[in-house]
């Protein structure tokens, strides 16, 4: 039936119909119909009754059949119907939009419905469904007058559609989706039909808005069918933005959002858990990578679809979808995937997350992903902290993590930057108090740039050895009054003398100097990236200039908890498996009744460490309780682990479990602290074990432990410890010891913030896990005695004045800390010489990205070399100076260093050139520097092996200095150009 | 390298009948096409261009003595001057317009309009010369194209006595806009001590009427030379021409309608930042429109 129609061959009939007058057509149509009716009635079980059977009583799956219809009769009907449909399709609408006569006849005689019933009466095979679907598809798509407004046409269509639901044959599905897509196009053009679809569906009782429900199963389908279904759904989504009813229906009566979101989970589960990483350099999934993985393509299609839905749909649908993605995909699927056991799996998940972030463009969806990263806690640790900690992982995971952060920072998102860096800078504790006014100061004379460039290693100085290739094109700063036409003027010296005014004012003297031309490119790039960044940051809530937000208002700790909401979430996570199982604690009797439930709960999980809210007046301001697990903790542990690991070789695949990292950390810490202890004071009689969160023990110098039996404050203890160590450092100043010292301070601080340290300063006795149970009673005692002797507020004042705890409202006399992200970046940068080229490219790229941000707090921290920081704070400049020293040592001891440098420069330039050539399509970068950072498998090294990381690092370091200096210089101009509004 | 310089100058010229800026529009045709890089003319490298930096507080490293940083001297100088120029723009000095010359960033062309007082209606062109060891050298010189009759202006060379206001040029404290500001002030508050033009000083003290008439003559003289070719043959020199609607009408219109948009110079870098931070909260995702999540 309708096969010819369906074959889409309208040429013949329509040619015939051209010029035929409508009356003739009508007569032909009626003729055909009467022939069809004869056959139909012959087989009608209810023959004789003039009323049609109600369709709703028909059993669609297996209608009553009264004997087989003879083949000749069936084909006769098919032929007639074909012709009839052509006539109907070709008919123009009547005057003023009235129905044409054929259509009117079709409606009056209920032609379509009767035909549908006829086909049901026969064997309703897939072939027949296919034919009927094609028939309607033609009608919907090609009719010259609107047909779907008429119930006698719409009703059988809905019947047909519902009879096709749940069908399995691929061709039927394809045709069904095609028809649905066609119908959605009609709907989009003429939303008035929407109401009819709803009403007609209601007649059927079960499903409202059938078109929509039928499309849902195809959302995640691959290939054309899926694409057509998604396109059709998008049409409905944009309808929903204007039609409250559609929106409400979809949000309340359909499973659209859950299906979409959980579908992501399903598709995600079919992604490879480990990817074959093409090379050790590999760090992120480029298009050519993911195109090779069909399941990834499919996932990205669905993710892009979610993105599109969120873009066009009604806010109700959008919010629902976003919430399902968060609860149905990110939290239950992606979070555990990010915490898989093997490095490869974690690495793959990280690369996926990076790819997803780069795929998503709609701010609302991006926000969902970002709030997952920034605020969600998995096993009580923020995802962000885990990710930050992985930057310091040796091997490829660190590289992949760096790539993820490059993406995050490139979003120009205030929330991300706030959590990563700015919240640590807002209190201004990282600098000397007197330096706060310097934050917004302008570097008029490029002093910082000069200082940065002065770190250029002597082996790379352009004065000593001109860089190869293109860089030999040096600029000539000539003072000549040369005309630009005179291209050879570079070699000329012309004195430009003002002879007119006779005042002898000559500002020009012939002189020239050769300069590295690449510096101009760096300036150009810096200009572009800073101005983009300035523009992007206009939507931010605050300028971050050291005054707004006011440092006093946001001292450390205030910003550590992202609100009560997640505080509660965190509560829910409290009892997740934990190496050190929280044990029940008898309610502290000394607690005043005013204590809140939350705080009690908090106490519970933390080893009977009481919160002394009763002494609240002691504190000028009661901040939120400290975070359950300080973000720095894990990160610091892993960081130290890496340092340890670098000493002793460990097979990569052995390095699979986080537990191992912790173990290594613990060992390392023990070793470190002991060495510190030995160096500092042999008189200290012993050491005590402090439980770490992972159940391992950390040996602490007893100088700290000694405090526990006094009624002194923890704050005091901390300070003592600091001073103690400081003395040590002063006595034996060495880089390594200094590093250890800083390490230890941070570790102590970290633990203090998380476990034992209470704001009002009592100190918990540390116990080893084994002792715990026995000591419970005793601890309780300890607690009461301590709380009875809570110190006076003035005791909290650190003897070091502003150095420790300046302005920290007595809550936390912590060493100033610029955040785990910055410290992990800097510590990796410090190891530049042993990093692979790719790691260094990413590191310097991220730091350059950060340096381009216009916020004075960040800018001054990274680029202002005159800013005086707190002694415990490491600045980028300091780290660069350390690297320079390493390089100088290196180059002094090796005679072949200059040659190697030249070889590396050639190699890098060759790589850059090849990338530039191959990169034009996806290049968003503008200059040399950006292109140098492009990543893809580099050409085979010629004269130099990539193993010579120190050589490549040296070249890169020199370039990085230029890049930073250029950024600093451009900041001094761009950030001060008055904007006209 | 820095197209905003021209644009800024143009956009600040929104007074009454202001100079037709040769440099503003017609110059784009007239001036030879400049290569993006490499052709920028800069003053000679100061012999001791190494910026004097404060002693490193951290004591980590002294700048290396290999002289690397000296090769970047021209960049530091150029950016210092650019910074000075942006400061001038920011000050929005009334009736003063300056523009660095094409040939040297150390030479700026300027014009000053006196709107009231003894020198009312005076339009004085001048040139600023900045020493090549800026900002560590002497204070910049300011020389009027035509020596204005004024106690502090040398009657022969036209040089303004700037040094009396800036006995010692101090980096970070003294800026070129202050020199320009000073040049304006002398026409409103006459100072006769230690004059460069004793005649003018004496007259001002003894015979103000004669002084005034001499000033009027001087202003007339200056204004009569307004349409002269610029003294300096430089594409960016400021030149005036009589009002010619065919040339100036369009330029004037553009001047008044032009608004500098931040993304003008770099199309294609379409970026927009993101923020869900409620102002004052310093908490991520604290804005009210953040969707509820767990």
**Rounded Cα gap, residues A93 and B253, in angstroms:** 55
Instruction: Record the tokens describing residue A953, joined without a space.
Output: 């690092």
The phi, psi pair for B241, rounded to 5°, reads: -145, 155
The per-residue pLDDT for A202 is 52
The per-residue pLDDT for A66 is 52
What DSSP assignment string belongs to B211-236? HHHHHHHHHHHHHHTTTSPPSS--TT
Instruction: Record the tokens describing residue A288, joined without a space.
Output: 């050519």
**Rounded Cα gap, residues B191 and B194, in angstroms:** 9
**Percent helix, strand and coil across chain A, each to the nearest 5:** 60, 0, 35
DSSP A977: S
Per-residue pLDDT tens over the stretch A573-611: 332 333 333 333 333 333 333 333 332 222 222 233 333
**Rounded Cα gap, residues A483 and B96, in angstroms:** 30
A183: helix, coil or strand? helix
**Top-confidence residue, A801 or A207:** A207
| Dihedral (CA of A419, A422, A425, A427) sign | negative
8 Å CB contact between B179 and B144:
no
Residue A919: pLDDT band by 50, 70, 90 thresholds? low
Distance of CA B168 to the CA centre of its chain: 20
- Residue given tokens 């009769």 in the structure block: A73
- Cβ separation of B41 and A473 shorter than 8 Å? no
Distance of CA B121 to the CA centre of its chain: 21
- Cβ separation of B277 and A414 shorter than 8 Å? yes
H, E, C per residue of A472-503: HCCEECCCCCCCCCCHHHHHCCCCCCCCCCCC
DSSP A433: G
Per-residue pLDDT tens over the stretch A423-476: 999 999 898 888 888 888 888 899 999 999 999 998 887 655 444 433 434 444
Sheet containing B107-113: give its strands across: B96-100, B107-113, B123-129, B141-144
Q: Is A560 on the interface with B (CB under 8 A)?
A: no
Q: Does the pLDDT value for residue A498 go beyond 70?
A: no
In angstroms, the separation between the Cα of residue B257 and the nearest Cα of chain A is 12
**Mean pLDDT for the stretch of residues A826-854:** 94
**Top-confidence residue, A422 or A679:** A422
**Rounded Cα gap, residues A423 and A544, in angstroms:** 10
Q: Does the pLDDT value for residue A625 go beyond 60?
A: no
Residue of B nearest to A524 (CA): B1
- Cβ separation of B90 and A484 shorter than 8 Å? no
Taking contacts as CB-CB distances below 8 angstroms, the residues of chain B near A479 are 41-44, 104
Widest CA span in chain A: 122
- Best mutation target among B6, B62, B235, B274 (most A Cβ atoms within 10 Å) is B274
A691: helix, coil or strand? strand
**Rounded Cα gap, residues A84 and A509, in angstroms:** 95
Residue B127 β-bridge partners: B109, B143
- Cβ separation of A375 and B60 shorter than 8 Å? no
**Mean pLDDT for the stretch of residues A287-297:** 90
**Rounded Cα gap, residues A197 and A629, in angstroms:** 55
**Top-confidence residue, A693 or A197:** A197
Residue A977: pLDDT band by 50, 70, 90 thresholds? low
**Rounded Cα gap, residues A94 and A99, in angstroms:** 5
Q: Does the pLDDT value for residue A230 go beyond 50?
A: yes
- Cβ separation of B135 and A444 shorter than 8 Å? yes
**Rounded Cα gap, residues A264 and A219, in angstroms:** 10
The per-residue pLDDT for A920 is 52
**Residues of chain A with pLDDT > 90: what percent?**
27
Per-residue pLDDT tens over the stretch A769-818: 333 333 333 333 333 233 333 333 333 333 333 333 333 333 344 577 88
Taking contacts as CB-CB distances below 8 angstroms, the residues of chain B near A973 are 2, 79, 82-83, 86
H, E, C per residue of B90-115: HHCCCCEEEEECCCCCCEEEEEEECC
B128: helix, coil or strand? strand
ipTM of the complex: 0.76
Q: Is A800 on the interface with B (CB under 8 A)?
A: no
**Top-confidence residue, A626 or A102:** A102
Residue B128 β-bridge partners: B108, B142
The per-residue pLDDT for A441 is 84
User: Which of A175, A42, A7, A22 has its CA nearest to residue A103?
Assistant: A22
**Rounded Cα gap, residues A110 and A962, in angstroms:** 81
Per-residue pLDDT tens over the stretch A891-913: 888 888 888 888 888 888 888 87
DSSP B285: T
Q: Does the pLDDT value for residue B49 go beyond 60?
A: no
Distance of CA A292 to the CA centre of its chain: 22
In angstroms, the separation between the Cα of residue A184 and the nearest Cα of chain B is 29
In chain A, which among 63-102 make CB contacts under 8 A with chain B? none
**Rounded Cα gap, residues A259 and A302, in angstroms:** 11
- Cβ separation of B273 and A539 shorter than 8 Å? yes
Please give the helix or strand (H or E) that residue B152 lies within, else none. none
The per-residue pLDDT for A308 is 94
Per-residue pLDDT tens over the stretch A807-836: 333 334 457 788 999 999 999 999 999 998
**Top-confidence residue, A787 or A73:** A73
Per-residue pLDDT tens over the stretch A659-668: 344 344 444 4
Q: Does the pLDDT value for residue B13 go beyond 70?
A: no
The per-residue pLDDT for A38 is 87
- Of A269-283, A333-347, A417-431, A960-974, which range is least confident? A269-283
**Residues of chain B with pLDDT > 90: what percent?**
46
Q: How many A-B residue pairs are in contact by the CB < 8 A criterion?
A: 314
Per-residue pLDDT tens over the stretch B97-146: 999 998 888 999 999 999 999 999 999 999 999 998 888 888 999 999 99
Per-residue pLDDT tens over the stretch A81-128: 888 888 888 888 777 778 888 888 888 888 888 888 887 777 677 788
Taking contacts as CB-CB distances below 8 angstroms, the residues of chain B near A461 are 66-68
In angstroms, the separation between the Cα of residue B209 and the nearest Cα of chain A is 30
Per-residue pLDDT tens over the stretch B184-232: 999 999 999 999 999 999 999 999 999 999 999 999 999 999 999 888 8
The per-residue pLDDT for A946 is 78
**Mean pLDDT for the stretch of residues A920-932:** 43
User: Which of A42, A38, A152, A44 has its CA nearest to residue A88?
Assistant: A152
Q: Mean of the per-residue pLDDT values for chain A?
A: 69
**Rounded Cα gap, residues A592 and B291, in angstroms:** 37
């Amino acid at each position: 039936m309708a096969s010819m129609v369906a074959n889409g061959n309208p040429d013949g009939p329509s040619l015939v119909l051209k010029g035929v007058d409508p009356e003739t057509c009508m007569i032909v149509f009626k003729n055909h119909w009467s022939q069809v009716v004869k056959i139909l009635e012959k087989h009608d079980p209810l023959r004789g009754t003039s009323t049609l059977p109600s369709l709703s009583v028909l059993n669609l799956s297996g209608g009553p059949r009264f004997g087989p219809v003879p083949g000749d009769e069936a084909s006769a009907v098919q032929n007639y119907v074909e012709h009839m449909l052509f006539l109907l399709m070709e008919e123009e609408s009547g005057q003023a939009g009235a129905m044409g006569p054929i259509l009117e006849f079709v409606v009056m005689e209920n032609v379509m419905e009767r035909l549908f019933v006829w086909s049901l009466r026969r064997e309703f095979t897939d072939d027949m469904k296919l034919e009927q679907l094609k028939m309607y598809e033609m009608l919907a798509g090609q009719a010259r007058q609107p047909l779907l407004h008429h119930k006698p046409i719409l009703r059988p269509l809905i019947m047909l559609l519902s009879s096709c639901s749940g069908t399995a044959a691929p061709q039927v599905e394809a045709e069904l989706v095609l028809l649905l897509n066609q119908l959605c196009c009609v709907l989009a053009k003429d939303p008035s039909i929407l109401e009819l679809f709803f009403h007609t569906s209601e007649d059927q009782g079960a499903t409202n808005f059938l078109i929509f429900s039928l499309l849902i199963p195809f959302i995640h389908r691959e290939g054309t069918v899926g694409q057509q279904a998604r396109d059709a759904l998008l049409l409905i989504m944009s309808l929903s933005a204007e039609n409250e009813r559609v929106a409400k229906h979809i949000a309340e009566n359909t499973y659209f959002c859950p299906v979409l979101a959980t579908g992501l989970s399903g598709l995600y589960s079919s992604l490879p858990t480990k990817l074959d990483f093409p090379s050790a350099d590999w760090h992120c999934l480029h298009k050519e990578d993911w195109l090779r993985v069909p399941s990834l393509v499919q996932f990205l299609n669905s993710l892009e679809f979610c993105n599109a839905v969120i873009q066009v749909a009604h806010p109700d649908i959008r919010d629902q979808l976003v919430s399902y993605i968060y609860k149905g995909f990110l939290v239950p699927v992606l979070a555990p995937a990010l915490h898989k056991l093997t490095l490869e799996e974690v690495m793959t998940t990280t690369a996926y997350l990076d790819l997803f972030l780069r795929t998503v463009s709609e701010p609302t969806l991006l926000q969902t992903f970002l709030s997952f990263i920034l605020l969600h806690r998995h096993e009580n640790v923020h995802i962000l902290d885990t990710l930050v900690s992985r930057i310091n992982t040796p091997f490829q995971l660190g590289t992949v993590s760096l790539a993820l952060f490059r993406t995050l920072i490139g979003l120009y998102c205030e929330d991300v930057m706030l959590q990563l860096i700015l919240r640590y800078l807002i209190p201004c504790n990282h600098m000397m108090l007197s330096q706060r006014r310097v934050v917004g100061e302008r570097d008029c004379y490029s002093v910082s740039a000069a200082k940065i460039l002065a770190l250029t290693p002597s082996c790379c100085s352009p004065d000593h050895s001109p860089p190869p290739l293109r860089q030999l094109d040096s600029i000539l700063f000539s003072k000549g009054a040369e005309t630009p036409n005179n291209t050879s003027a570079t070699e000329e010296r012309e004195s430009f003398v003002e002879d007119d005014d006779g005042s002898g004012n000559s500002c020009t003297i012939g002189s020239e100097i050769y300069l590295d031309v690449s510096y101009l490119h760096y300036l150009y790039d810096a200009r572009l990236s800073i101005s983009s960044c300035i523009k992007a940051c206009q939507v931010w809530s605050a300028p971050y200039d050291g005054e707004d937000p006011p440092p006093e208002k946001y001292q450390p700790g205030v910003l550590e908890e992202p609100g009560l909401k997640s505080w509660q979430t965190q509560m829910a996570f409290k009892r997740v498996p934990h190496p050190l199982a929280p044990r029940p604690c008898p309610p502290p009797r000394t607690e005043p009744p005013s204590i809140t439930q939350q705080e009690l709960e908090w106490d519970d999980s933390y080893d009977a460490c009481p919160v002394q809210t009763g002494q609240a007046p002691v504190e000028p301001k009661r901040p939120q309780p400290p975070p359950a697990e300080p973000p720095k903790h894990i990160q610091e542990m892993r960081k130290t682990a890496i340092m340890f690991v670098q000493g002793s070789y460990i097979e990569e695949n052995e390095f699979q479990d986080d537990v191992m990292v912790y173990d290594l950390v613990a060992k390392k810490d023990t070793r470190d602290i002991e060495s510190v202890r030995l160096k500092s004071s042999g008189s200290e009689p012993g050491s005590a074990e402090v439980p770490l969160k992972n159940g391992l023990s950390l040996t602490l110098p007893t100088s700290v432990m000694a405090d526990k039996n006094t009624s002194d404050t923890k704050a005091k203890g901390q300070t003592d410890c600091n001073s103690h160590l400081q003395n040590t450092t002063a006595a034996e100043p060495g880089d390594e010891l200094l590093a250890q010292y800083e390490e230890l301070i941070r570790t102590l601080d970290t633990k203090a913030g998380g476990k034992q340290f209470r704001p009002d300063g009592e100190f918990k006795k540390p116990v080893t896990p084994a002792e715990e149970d026995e000591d419970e009673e005793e601890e309780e005692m300890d607690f009461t005695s301590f709380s009875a002797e809570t110190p006076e507020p003035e005791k909290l004042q650190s003897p070091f004045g502003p150095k420790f705890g300046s302005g920290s409202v007595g809550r936390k006399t912590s060493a100033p800390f610029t955040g785990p992200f910055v410290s992990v970046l800097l510590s990796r940068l410090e190891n530049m010489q042993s990093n692979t080229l790719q790691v260094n490219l990413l590191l310097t790229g991220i730091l350059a990205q950060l340096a381009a941000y216009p916020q004075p707090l960040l800018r001054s921290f990274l680029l202002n070399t005159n800013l005086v920081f707190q002694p415990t704070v490491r600045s980028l400049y300091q780290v660069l100076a350390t690297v320079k020293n390493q390089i100088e040592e290196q180059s002094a001891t090796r005679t072949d260093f200059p040659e190697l440098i030249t070889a590396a420069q050639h190699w890098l330039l060759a790589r850059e050139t090849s990338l530039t050539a191959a990169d034009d399509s996806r290049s968003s970068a503008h200059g040399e520097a950006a292109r140098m950072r492009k990543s893809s498998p580099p050409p085979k090294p010629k004269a130099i092996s990539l193993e010579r990381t120190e050589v490549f690092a040296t070249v890169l370091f020199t370039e990085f200095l230029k890049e930073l200096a250029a950024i600093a210089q451009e900041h001094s101009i761009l950030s001060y150009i008055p904007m006209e509004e | 390298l820095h197209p905003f310089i021209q644009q800024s100058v143009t956009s600040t010229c929104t007074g009454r009948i202001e100079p037709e800026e040769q440099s503003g529009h017609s110059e784009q045709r007239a001036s030879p096409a400049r290569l993006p890089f490499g052709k920028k003319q800069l003053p000679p490298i100061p012999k001791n261009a190494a910026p004097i930096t404060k002693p490193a507080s951290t004591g980590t490293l002294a700048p290396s003595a290999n002289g690397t940083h000296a090769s970047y001297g021209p960049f530091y100088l150029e950016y210092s001057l650019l910074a000075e120029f942006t400061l001038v723009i920011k000050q929005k000095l009334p009736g003063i317009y300056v523009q660095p010359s094409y040939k040297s960033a150390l030479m700026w062309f300027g014009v000053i309009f006196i709107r009231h007082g003894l020198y009312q209606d005076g339009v004085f062109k001048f040139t600023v010369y900045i020493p090549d060891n800026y900002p560590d050298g002497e204070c910049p010189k300011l020389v009027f194209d035509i020596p204005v009759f004024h106690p502090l202006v040398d009657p022969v060379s036209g040089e303004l006595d700037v040094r009396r206001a800036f006995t010692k040029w101090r980096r970070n404290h003294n800026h070129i806009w202050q020199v320009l500001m000073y040049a304006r002030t002398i026409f409103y508050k006459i100072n006769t001590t230690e004059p460069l033009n004793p005649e003018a000083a004496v007259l001002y003290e003894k015979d103000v009427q004669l002084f005034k008439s001499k000033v009027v003559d001087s202003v007339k003289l200056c204004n009569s030379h307004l349409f002269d070719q610029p003294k300096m043959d430089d594409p960016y020199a400021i030149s005036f021409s009589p009002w010619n609607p065919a040339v100036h009408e369009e330029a004037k219109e553009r001047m008044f309608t032009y608004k500098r948009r931040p993304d003008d110079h770099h199309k294609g870098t379409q970026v927009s930042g993101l923020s869900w931070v409620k102002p004052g909260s310093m908490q991520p995702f604290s804005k009210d429109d953040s969707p509820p999540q767990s």
